[in-house]
Structure 1
Amino acid sequence: MSTQQYSLIRKLYISQPREMLLDLSALQRIGISSQRAASYAKNGWLNRIAHGLYAFPETEPSLCAGFSYLTRQIPGLHIGGDSVLGTVCEDDVAPLVLWGDSRASLPRWFVERYPVRYVHARLFDWSGAPTLGTATLERQAGLLRSTRERALLEMLYEVSCSHDLLKARDRFCAVGDVCSLTSGRLLQHCTSVKAVRLFLRLARQAQSLDVDELLGRWRVHTGSERRWIARLKDGTTLCLGPRG
């Protein structure tokens, strides 16, 4: 190895955390070209994860490292829905539910290592309140995730059968009290009538907040005054009133 090559690889090892995933832009900032990175991988100085993506030798990307890398590629990426309301860990059998702000495909190297699925939906309209969306996210163990109030709405958006309804009711009861302020802000910006009305109904059933007080305080978009009726995938008829 030439002096220049050694100097570059030494700079890389000193300046970057061992758990970090290194793409070509990160390597090029240090002065390592794509050709040199490929040479380092061939000689064992780097571990090639995918095309143009590397890790340090004998290092497999952790869930946290992979997630952190993907948040720079997919706007608004966070853990949401069921994955927040249940237990989130790398050994979970149930797929980790990831939400984002744009259509995207999770890279093969990530989905092969972790059971995950990606959901994209314009569930909230943050027009006029662009910073509110980030206020309904929190960071835990290095992972960005929805607050439980936002996660409940994300879960309800995905309800598609009677089993989902039963699970949603159980989740609501298990969560306990929810924050009226956070719930009001989210419901005011939620674009899904189904999710809003289900949230109000289940909140009443679980007695997790004062729904009437919330509706009197916030301009919640519940659609028309007529009942909202839809047939779910298993043939179940879902009928929801405007006030839950």
Structure 2
Amino acid sequence: MSNKTVQRLMQESRRGHPVDSGMLRDMGISAALASHMVKSGWLQRLSNGAYLLTGDAPTRDGSIAYLSRRIAGLHVGGKTALSWQGVRHNIAFHEKVVLWGQKPYRIPSWVDQHLSYSFQTTALFDVDLPYENGLKPLPSGDPEVKVSVPERAILELASDIGKGQSFEEASNLMVGLRNLRADVLDEFLSHCHRVKVVRLVRDLGLEADFSWARGLQKHVDRLGAGTRWSNRTKNGRLTLKPE
């Protein structure tokens, strides 16, 4: 093992970002050499094929970036995506990151030790909408971590209502979404095939009296009559309808 190999590893590995076998190969480090570097104290093995510079701990963004190379379409969505873009109701001291992806994946146990998260693969949109639509890194964020734009995130948030996400908090978050881009939201709703999501986005927007919400009835009509997902109380407050 040459000093040049070690130097390249130190230069190209981002602190707190786990690397996989493919990344090591690109640095000229074979599986055998990686094992030797673990024994020599340059690398620590997190799991099969996952390594980190010795002395580092996986960061939030480093863990998500690693998973994004293994899970198609992995992104930060829903409530977390809104929070990272300044739309939040309460500041969480122990943030639980909401992750979405295209297909199930067995996330390695070392991720659980360093990241509080939920992961789901709920399909909200039809196949005509490219999965990557509305997913991009934040301007000041990690370039390897994709985040839902607010217009997509609000649909993901609505999908989570009743599944660990309270209606009340979603309603409070909606207050910060007055300036959603109506044309972008319209595109996502045009491809959304889940009645619950479309109805709740409409109801939450109307409750907040946003102008963009008044044009959403066409999406509810497109999906046809179905279950009502919200009730209005005597004081005019919307609540999630009990199943």
Aligned-residue Cα RMSD (Å) equals 2.8
Q: Distance in 2 between matches of 1:161 and 1:61?
A: 29
Tell me the equivalent position of 1:175. Answer: 177
Q: Distance in 1 between matches of 2:67 and 2:114?
A: 14
CA shift, 1:230, in A, is 6.2
What are structure 1's unaligned runs of at least 5 residues? 239-244
Tell me the equivalent position of 1:93. Answer: 94
Q: Deviations over 1:92-128 (max 9, x none)?
A: 414110011111232211121011110111111241x
Residue from 72, 78, 88 that aligns with 2:75: 78
- Partner amino acid for 2:180? V
Tell me the equivalent position of 1:242. Answer: none
Tell me the equivalent position of 1:68. Answer: 65
Residue correspondence of structure 1 range 102-121 to structure 2 within 5 A: 102-121=103-122
Q: Distance in 2 between matches of 1:170 and 1:135?
A: 26
Tell me the equivalent position of 2:132. Answer: 134
Tell me the equivalent position of 2:55. Answer: 58
| Structure 2 residue 42 is the aligned partner of structure 1 residue 37 | no
CA shift, 1:176, in A, is 2.4
Residue correspondence of structure 1 range 187-226 to structure 2 within 5 A: 187-215=189-217, 222-224=222-224, 226=225
Q: State the secondary structure of the residue aligned to 1:32.
A: coil
- Partner amino acid for 1:156? A
CA shift, 1:209, in A, is 2.8
CA shift, 1:145, in A, is 0.8
CA shift, 1:211, in A, is 3.4
- Partner amino acid for 1:74? I
Larger radius of gyration: 1
What are structure 2's unaligned runs of at least 5 residues? 86-91, 231-239
Identity over the aligned pairs, expressed in percent? 25
TM-score by length of 2: 0.80
8 Å CA contact 1:188–1:221 kept in 2: the answer is no
Aligned residue pairs, count: 225
TM-score by length of 1: 0.80
